Chains A and B, each alone.
Chain A
């Protein structure tokens, strides 16, 4: 089966600019997650979707980050305006059901550098 697709792979922007990331999960996976991974750290959850509804966005910096999942399939994560501390890898993952009782499948991530 095809894996989780993410694009772009790399992005360099200046601070205060905006950026968007795209994710296409595994077909049939109802739950989609966006994680932020800062260099040398483990992934930290930003937002969790169940179908096209937000289940948990308690750790999403809503003043600058937004995310949507249209029609319960693809998802986009946007940062506007970006700050230097947003430099990180943004990972998208999907699972068959809520909570990942059978494990998550991750995409390769988007490496964002804010200069």
Chain B
């Protein structure tokens, strides 16, 4: 399967703590993206990291990518109750032509307790 697989499936932490989610995949990628989905809503793009990048930051988010291990991690620092959501990694495989698209994993459900 080309899709990313997140770990853990569910994570529950206290407000103010850091949350780390991992993603593993099996194919060569152009980039890897993380999305958030609040209950009953669409997915929101959080951050994109290209295959030649190792780390990227956006606000309280930090993403790392290890292409040799085919894995990525998403760190949310100083978590808030509003961060409660499902988080998905999605991979864009290397492919010629326009017939390529993001493949999503099954997500990590993050619960931040106040």
Contact = CB atoms under 8 A, between A and B. Distances in A.
Given A42-B88, A109-B42, A101 B30 contact: yes
B77 interface: no
Contacts of A102: 48
B92 A100 contact: yes
Q: Which size class do B's interface residues fall under?
A: 20 to 34
Interface of B: 3, 30-31, 33, 35, 40-45, 48, 88, 92, 95, 97-107
B41 A108 contact: yes
Nearest to B93: A99
Given A42-B104, A48-B99, A103 B41 contact: no
Given A99-B30, A101-B31, A103-B48, A56 B101 contact: yes
A112 interface: no
Interface residues of A, number: 30
Most buried by A among B3, B48, B104, B106: B104
Interface in A69-108: 91, 93, 98-108
20 contacts: A41-B107, A42-B104, A42-B106, A42-B107, A43-B43, A43-B88, A48-B99, A48-B101, A93-B42, A98-B97, A98-B99, A99-B92, A99-B98, A99-B100, A99-B101, A100-B101, A103-B33, A106-B35, A106-B45, A111-B40
